[in-house]
Structure 1
Amino acid sequence: MKASVIVLVALAATTLMRRRSAAVRHWVLSAAIVCAAATPLLELVVPSWHIAFGSAPPVHERDVAGPRAAASQRAAPTSLAAVQPEPPRPHRDALSDAIATARLTNLLTATWIAGISISIGLLVVGLGRLAWLASRSRRLVTGQWIEMAEEISRRYGIARAVRLLQSDHPSLLVTWGLLRPRIILPRAACDWPADRIRIVLSHELAHIERGDWLVQMMAELLRSVYWFNPLLWIAGTRLRQESEHACDDAVLNLGVDGSEYAGHLLDLARSAIRHRARWSPDLPAAAIARPSRLERRVIAMLNARLNRTPLSRSARFMALIAVLAVTIPIAGFGQTSFVTFSGSVVDPNGRIVPGVTLVLSDMPRDAKREVRTDSGGRFEFVGVPAGDYALEVSFAGFMPVRENVALAAPRVQRDYSLEVGTLQETLTIVGGGDPPSSSRPTTRANTRYQPAQAEYDPCSASLVGGCIRPPTKIADFKPEYPQHLSDAKVGGVVLLIGRIGADGSMIRVQLADPADPINPALAQAAIAAVNQWQFTPTQLGGVPIEVDMKVTVNFVIRQ
């Protein structure tokens, strides 16, 4: 987890910075908390980088409706298969694993959300209690507290108005708020001596000047999201401790004697301990006299050699640059957004086609993912790293669909329509011998297909698409080798394209390449023969359709 790495680096850095002031350590931790919280946003803009450990092995994805299938490259079909597609049978082991994984994922997700809800709920309750205490407190507008607060605010450079509230609680002393900061004082605060008032205000106003409450709230929110991460709990505790030490240093830098400060702090802590049953330690606000870690604070106050240098602008800037220098590479490392690529496949009649193979290839990484459409003709690639891929959609009897797809958005939806494949036939006509007899049909000559004579087509009863009944040739004519070319021993290869019409007759027969330099007489002989061919109609789902055909005629001379 990238947030953990950022926080861990900051914790290690502050441990090594023991000779620096608490203000510097607190700023480093604060910057790390902010950067850790902003990591998901930084991942959207920071360039990705990786460490290569050799080539990645091919990745195969399980079929959405059946067992794993090996990736394959299919060429264009040379014949049409009259096979009615059936939904692939589910693989029991794969299905069981998928169900178990889904249940575990749902359980972990529910646990994580429950933890977030509880953590944020406690934070909201604490803020609500602060608001309730403030509403029941009396605002101080005159007197010694107000005069000293204005004086110390000027020394700290605080321009915002700070509200001083006096509650009925015997020991509660907390500070919170950003735009309208508040300090809640205990019931006996007005009876305190001037020295204690000055010390307390100097400490609490230092929190306001430094913006500690906002940083602490960000740490609490981050910890609520990553409540299961002990590093965030440690960082939150360290952040609060360094905040108190930094404010103690600010008070001492105003000229307050360390032993005097420690004496007042101990008195406040004793009062807090006496009323601990009525004081909530979970209030999301800074408190000067929390009993925990009090010993270290007193020792620090009495240590005259301790570094108490305030945080300068240059030190603030350098620390921020250092934290960003760590955060940005971490945010970009291994950064991969995942995409769900889904859609459906239909035949030319618009009917769904189950069992279609789709292969998604990432050539630079030598990775392939393969799925098949389910019984509803739908496919889905889950958890695909964003990037550019080559997609191939293939199914027996249909032309393969090949295209490049760019997967960037979290969900990509795309539907595909298959086209019926192309028939191919190759003939060899031999010349150089006796003149051939006139062309005769090898089957029923010049017999035209009559629809009424059609046999039962099982594809017509299919509930899904992709069911093809291939054509059968019922009239076949061989091209005649032109005699003058045969005598001159001139041969060649004629490449023709045409279509078998819905009634089974040949239409639009022509040269595949009009610029082909083949002898025109050979081309005319081939076209004349192929134009006389007759087939039973090609049927898709019981509906007659036209289908393309390629014919190769080799005119060769007998040796």
Structure 2
Amino acid sequence: MLLLLTKTTLLLAVVLLLGRLLRRASAARRAALYTAGLLGLAALPILHLVAPPLISVPLPTEPLQPAPILVQAQPQPVPLVAKQPVPTTTSTPSLRPAPAAEFIALSEPTPLPPPAPFPWEGLGMVFLASGSVLCLLRLVFGLIGLQQLVRQSQPAPAAVRDEVVALAQRLRLARVPQVRIAGESLALASPLTFGWWRGVVLLPESSLADDAALRVALLHELVHLHRRDWLVLLLARASAALWWFHPLVHLLVRQLRAELEAACDDRVLRSGVQAPDYAGYLVSFARTASGGKS
């Protein structure tokens, strides 16, 4: 476990350092780097169990004993024994065996086995696995909550759907996403995009007040769908759930989220929207979504 933790820390440190070195590169490239790091983080436990170690050094299970020194034995003289005359008597020998000498075998006492060590490593694995299960359950409940928001929302007006179709064709999306409007009771503060097959764009009801800001916000969300950012973040959160106890994992997920947003903003600006207008639209949209509060 300690070796696996060391490998994980080394991988995270290398990915974060490369992200710092690539600060002059595009946000899309940094996002791709962080995504690859998180995918490698998820595959690292499997590789640790399956791949053989590069260098295998067998450890001795018993203490080494010095080799015995062989000494050549000296021949001993054989004593001469005088021949005894063979008895000629025909008497029947006694059937009772001669009394044999009694011997008591003295053996060394059997050593008691050492006490079993306390299973600290096993308890640590159970603790870490329990935390991962809880984080994964939280992720599953979040997905269920998104489905509930969709069921409680309303279909978007026809004008908004037509705008989404036009933007989807412009971005060459394979499938036009579903657009829903969340009422004020759902307390949705900003647009929300999720799904990887068709995708769903969920807008707060207050976003319908400004058409220009709404169009820019729709373009921003459709770019997220085109880049598959929601699927990337889902995989990132799943990796973070497996390594929930490591602070560098959460730092990497935050960096990935920020780079995905920056890459999406770059794509919107390349589509023809001016930077000052884009910033003004976002501020106006945020102020409208928050109920007029700056």
- TM-score, normalised relative to structure 2: 0.74
Q: Where does the alignment leave 5 or more consecutive residues of structure 1 unmatched? A: 62-68, 75-81, 277-290, 292-559
Label 1:243 to 1:60 Cα distance change in 2 as closer, same or farther (>3 A): same
CA distance in 1 between partners of 2:247 and 2:288 (Å): 32
The aligned residue for residue 131 of structure 1 is 147
CA RMSD of superposed structures (Å): 3.3
User: 2:197 matched to 1:175?
Assistant: no
Q: Deviation of residue 46 (structure 1)?
A: 5.7
CA distance in 1 between partners of 2:123 and 2:111 (Å): 29
Report the residue type matching 1:59 in the other structure. P
Report the residue type matching 2:20 in the other structure. T
CA distance in 1 between partners of 2:246 and 2:223 (Å): 30
Identify, as 1 or 2, the structure richer in strand. Answer: 1
1:196 to 195, 208, 213: 213
Matched ranges for 1:247-266 at <5 A: 247-266=264-283
The aligned residue for residue 75 of structure 2 is none
CA distance in 1 between partners of 2:111 and 2:193 (Å): 66
In 1, are the aligned partners of 2:207 and 2:289 still within 8 Å (CA)? no
CA distance in 1 between partners of 2:150 and 2:33 (Å): 32
Helix, strand or coil: the match of 2:197?
coil
Label 1:143 to 1:37 Cα distance change in 2 as closer, same or farther (>3 A): same
1:98-147: per-residue Cα shift (whole Å, max 9, x none)? 332x1x2243223212311221222122111111111111123x522222
User: 2:28 matched to 1:23?
Assistant: yes
User: 2:221 matched to 1:220?
Assistant: no
In 1, are the aligned partners of 2:207 and 2:288 still within 8 Å (CA)? no
Which one is further off, 32-41 or 122-131? 32-41
CA distance in 1 between partners of 2:105 and 2:289 (Å): 84
Helix, strand or coil: the match of 1:184?
strand
Helix, strand or coil: the match of 1:188?
helix
1:284-333: per-residue Cα shift (whole Å, max 9, x none)? xxxxxxx9xxxxxxxxxxxxxxxxxxxxxxxxxxxxxxxxxxxxxxxxxx
Which one is further off, 242-251 or 13-22? 13-22
Q: Deviation of residue 229 (structure 1)?
A: 0.6
Runs of 4+ aligned residues of structure 1 deviating over 6 Å after TM superposition are 71-74, 82-87
In 2, are the aligned partners of 1:3 and 1:37 still within 8 Å (CA)? no
CA distance in 2 between partners of 1:24 and 1:273 (Å): 33
In 1, are the aligned partners of 2:191 and 2:201 still within 8 Å (CA)? yes
Label 1:70 to 1:263 Cα distance change in 2 as closer, same or farther (>3 A): same
Matched ranges for 1:340-379 at <5 A: none
Report the residue type matching 1:260 in the other structure. D
Helix, strand or coil: the match of 1:179?
coil
The aligned residue for residue 43 of structure 2 is 38
Relative contact order, higher structure (CA 8 A, sep 6+): 2
Percent of aligned positions with the same letter in both sequences? 30
Q: Deviation of residue 237 (structure 1)?
A: 0.3
Label 1:137 to 1:70 Cα distance change in 2 as closer, same or farther (>3 A): same
1:187 to 196, 202, 205: 205
Matched ranges for 1:86-165 at <5 A: 88-91=110-113, 94-95=114-115, 98-100=116-118, 102=119, 104-140=120-156, 143-165=158-180
1:175-196: per-residue Cα shift (whole Å, max 9, x none)? 1111131111101233331x21
Identify, as 1 or 2, the structure richer in helix. Answer: 2
Matched ranges for 1:349-428 at <5 A: none
Label 1:219 to 1:72 Cα distance change in 2 as closer, same or farther (>3 A): farther
CA distance in 1 between partners of 2:48 and 2:161 (Å): 48
CA distance in 1 between partners of 2:148 and 2:66 (Å): 69
Q: Deviation of residue 90 (structure 1)?
A: 2.9
2:10 to 5, 19, 28: 5
CA distance in 2 between partners of 1:83 and 1:264 (Å): 99
CA distance in 1 between partners of 2:290 and 2:60 (Å): 62
In 1, are the aligned partners of 2:240 and 2:250 still within 8 Å (CA)? yes
